[in-house]
């Protein structure tokens, strides 16, 4: 697939000043300036984040009300129900809050809604469960900010709510005792990009001193917070970066039993990094809710012993195996539907439907299809008497607005800029597909249909040395707004030893000014002919560490390449 290359630049004066104070590579300084790090002090906080830089939790609107209500519940021996969503952010938040509450209050339990029976967020079934079992306070985590009618219903039953959420609030807020959400318009909390588990952490931070608990109690679950930050794809800046930094440290030194068990089942033998949380831990936690019941994810995280955690982790691991099989099969079937229809080539959008597809993986399949065709994509399956599914966008295109413009064909929908969920009648699918294509075609910029690679800097092969790589490693944890640096090297030659491996990948051997680097380019075999043309190429890559027989070397993880311009 063709890709657009965008090479970033930095203010030279700022970069030069930073180089004078840091005494490191000008290439690294350029990248830091691009990321808003312009002074020695900012660099120090970036490379050596400190827990003392976390904001006072009492700056968050309604924190006083939330703490006061929980103290009253504890003193009055009220039953408290911790309620959270079925994804990684929700289950880690519930586990963190439940473990903390159990230190100060015996009358606490947790509730995770079933994805298919109850749907996303606060559910009527959950409120009824609370009422029928004598709970008078619900702490909702990673959900609740839009649950106006349901929280009104709970209030009539005598059940109070404390809402801890990070999603954008509507104009009308639910009638909760307290709402902790830094995205509220009148909330002065300095950092706005916390995940749901991060908001829960701030509540724990405010509560702990009220019960004479220590910093150790506050940070006990910081590895779960890091897992949520990694999985929820929130910006890796500010407090998120600090929490992730120390959360990964704890995950390596003294991990939660659940993380330890999942790392073992994932085959992780080396130090755990943020990408392990994203690609090994998070999918297994998410699989519980996708394929079955996410309650066991919380049971794993709150397990008192490693053996107990491993018992639940094995269930999640099995769910993830089922998820991968369903995901692979459905993606294959969807690609067959697309390639078998000649009209798809002219379309600017993709909408596919099959009644037998598993509802839990349609969002993943939509993302897979975008990897192939890079257009706004909706994957639908049958759910009861209706069609339901997930939509995913390409960067830069407002998917929610496009779905909203097709609302005449929908029973319900919700989402945000990049992703959405929707429900419609089965006989409306064709009409919806046509309308969605009409809207996308009329509103999407043609450039957005070509994937873009953001390149941080142009470098030469002689820049790629261990001191340079070691500084890049200190830029971790990586994530949105602090991605692992991507480089381009120009006028590079194939040594003649590059080859196709496993039919679809390229093992590179490249040379520039007498310096040779090897590398791997996944699923790039269709471009191998460019290497055989014996012309200089420009190559885009990340720098990786490779270890073979105890010997470490630097190699390239190639993302794209093309023939150099004359």
Domain 4-48+453-563 has CATH 1.10.357.10: no
Reading the block at residue 6, the tokens are 């965008």
Domain 341-449 has CATH 3.10.310.30: yes
**Number of C-beta neighbours around residue 157 at 10 A:** 12
| pLDDT at residue 268, as a whole number | 86
Strands 4-7 and 452-455: parallel
| pLDDT at residue 98, as a whole number | 98
| pLDDT at residue 168, as a whole number | 85
Domain regions of the chain by residue span: 4-48+453-563, 57-318, 341-449
> For residue 137, what are the contacts with CB-CB under 8 A and spacing of at least 6?
69, 70, 73, 78, 79, 80, 81, 159, 160, 161, 162
| pLDDT at residue 547, as a whole number | 84
**Number of C-beta neighbours around residue 511 at 10 A:** 15
Closest CA to 165 of 177, 182, 152: 182
Q: Give 319-340 pLDDT, tens digit per residue.
A: 999 999 999 999 999 999 998 8
Q: What is d(CA 200, CA 139) in angstroms, rounded to the nearest whole number?
A: 9
Q: Give 11-53 pLDDT, tens digit per residue.
A: 999 999 999 999 999 999 999 999 999 999 999 999 999 999 9
Q: What is d(CA 402, CA 418) in angstroms, rounded to the nearest whole number?
A: 11
Q: What is d(CA 162, CA 243) in angstroms, rounded to the nearest whole number?
A: 23
| pLDDT at residue 6, as a whole number | 96
CATH number for 57-318 (one of 3.40.190.10, 3.90.79.10, 3.90.1640.30, 3.30.465.10): it is: 3.90.1640.30
Mean pLDDT per 10-residue interval, the chain, length 566 residues: 92 95 95 96 95 97 98 97 93 97 96 84 94 97 93 97 92 96 95 96 98 96 96 92 97 95 90 88 89 92 97 94 93 92 87 93 93 95 92 94 94 85 94 96 95 96 96 94 96 96 95 96 94 95 90 95 93
Query: Do the beta carbons of residue 69 and residue 273 sit within 8 Å?
Result: no
> For residue 111, what are the contacts with CB-CB under 8 A and spacing of at least 6?
81, 82, 83, 84, 126, 129, 130
**Number of C-beta neighbours around residue 30 at 10 A:** 23
């Amino acid at each position: 697939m063709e890709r657009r290359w965008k090479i970033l630049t930095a203010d030279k004066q700022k970069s030069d000043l930073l180089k004078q104070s840091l005494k490191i590579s000008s290439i690294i300084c350029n990248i830091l300036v691009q990321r808003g790090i312009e002074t020695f002090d900012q660099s120090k906080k970036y490379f050596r984040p400190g827990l003392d830089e976390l904001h006072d939790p009492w700056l968050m609107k309604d924190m006083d009300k939330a703490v006061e209500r929980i103290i009253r519940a504890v003193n009055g021996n009220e039953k408290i129900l911790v309620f959270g969503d079925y994804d990684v952010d929700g289950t880690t938040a519930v586990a963190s809050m439940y473990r903390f509450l159990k230190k100060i209050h015996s009358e606490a339990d947790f509730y995770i809604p079933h994805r298919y029976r109850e749907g996303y967020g606060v559910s009527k079934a959950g409120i009824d469960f609370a009422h029928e079992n004598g709970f008078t306070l619900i702490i909702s985590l990673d959900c609740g900010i839009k649950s106006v009618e349901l929280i009104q219903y709970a209030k009539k039953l005598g059940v109070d709510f404390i809402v801890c959420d990070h999603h954008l609030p509507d104009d009308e807020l639910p009638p909760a005792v307290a709402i902790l959400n830094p995205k509220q318009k009148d909330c002065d909390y300095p950092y706005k990009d916390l995940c749901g588990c991060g908001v829960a952490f701030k509540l724990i931070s405010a509560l702990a001193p009220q019960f004479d608990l220590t910093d150790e109690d506050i940070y006990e679950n910081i590895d779960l917070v890091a897992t949520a930050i990694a999985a929820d794809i929130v910006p890796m800046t500010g407090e998120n970066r600090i929490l992730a930094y120390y959360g990964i440290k704890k995950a390596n030194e003294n991990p939660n039993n659940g993380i330890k068990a999942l790392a073992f089942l994932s085959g992780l033998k080396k130090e755990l990094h943020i990408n392990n949380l994203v690609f090994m831990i998070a999918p297994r936690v998410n699989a519980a809710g996708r394929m079955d019941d996410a309650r066991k994810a919380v049971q794993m995280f709150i397990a008192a012993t490693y053996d107990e955690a491993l018992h639940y982790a094995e269930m999640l691991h099995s769910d993830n195996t089922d998820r991968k099989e369903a995901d692979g099969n459905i993606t294959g079937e969807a690609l067959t539907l697309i390639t078998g229809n000649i009209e798809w080539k002219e379309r600017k959008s993709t909408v596919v439907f099959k009644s037998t597809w598993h509802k839990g993986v349609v969002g993943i399949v939509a993302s897979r299809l975008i990897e192939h065709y890079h257009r706004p994509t909706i994957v639908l399956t049958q759910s009861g008497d209706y069609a339901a599914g997930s939509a995913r966008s390409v960067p830069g295109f407002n998917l929610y607005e496009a779905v909203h413009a097709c609302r005449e064909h929908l029973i319900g929908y919700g989402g945000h800029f990049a992703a959405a969920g929707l429900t419609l009648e089965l006989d409306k699918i064709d009409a919806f597909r046509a309308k969605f294509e009409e809207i996308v075609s009329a509103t999407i910029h043609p450039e957005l249909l070509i994937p873009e690679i953001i390149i941080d800097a142009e470098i030469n092969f002689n820049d790629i040395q261990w001191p340079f790589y070691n500084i890049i490693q200190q830029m971790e944890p990586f994530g949105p707004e602090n991605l692992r640096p991507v480089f381009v090297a120009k006028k590079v030659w194939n040594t003649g030893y590059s080859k196709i491996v496993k039919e679809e990948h390229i093992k590179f051997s490249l040379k520039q000014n007498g310096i040779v680097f090897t590398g791997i380019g996944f699923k790039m075999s269709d471009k191998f002919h460019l290497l055989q043309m014996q012309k200089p190429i420009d190559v885009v890559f990340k720098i990786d560490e490779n270890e073979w027989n105890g010997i470490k070397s630097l190699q390239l993880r190639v993302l794209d390449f093309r023939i150099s311009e004359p």
